[in-house]
């Protein structure tokens, strides 16, 4: 499956879950937020396609995709993104200063 097809399916899945996907510029990676009653998934538009896919896949994994059909390739992308997030380590507290 082409990367663009994966991205399109992830965007469509976000829409099915009631999220509007927005690509914006800035110094952030992306994630979900709520503006008034609108659920928005914001993605940095300058990320390469792999970064966009990972950002949306991680967010969908947090939201939950139970009950929504995903192709096996896209379901694996979401599961892998969640697995990689679970293995990330947080910086030591003195590294945050």
Provide the pLDDT for residue 84.
84
Q: What distance in Å separates the CA atoms of residue 52 and residue 45, rounded to the nearest whole number? A: 8
Q: What is this structure's pTM?
A: 0.84
R_g (Cα) of the chain, nearest Å: 14
**What's the pLDDT score for residue 89?**
52
**Is residue 67 classed exposed, middle or buried when 0-12, 13-18 and 19+ CB atoms within 10 A define those classes?**
exposed
Cα distances (angstroms) measured from residue 95 to each of 84, 90, 91, 92: 21, 10, 6, 5
Q: Hey, what domains does the chain have and what are their CATH numbers?
A: 3-84 (3.30.2010)
Q: What is the pLDDT along the chain (97 residues), one digit of tens a residue?
A: 899 999 999 999 999 999 999 999 988 889 999 999 999 999 999 999 999 999 999 999 999 999 999 999 999 999 999 888 766 654 554 544 4
């Amino acid at each position: 499956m082409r990367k663009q097809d994966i991205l399109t399916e992830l965007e469509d899945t976000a829409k099915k879950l009631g999220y509007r996907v927005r690509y914006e510029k800035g110094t952030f990676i992306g994630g979900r937020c709520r503006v008034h009653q609108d659920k928005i998934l914001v993605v940095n538009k300058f990320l390469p396609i792999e970064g966009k896919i990972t950002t949306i896949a991680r967010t969908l994994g947090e939201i939950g995709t139970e009950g929504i059909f995903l192709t096996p390739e896209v379901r694996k992308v979401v599961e892998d993104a969640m697995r990689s997030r679970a293995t990330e380590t947080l910086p030591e507290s003195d590294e945050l200063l």
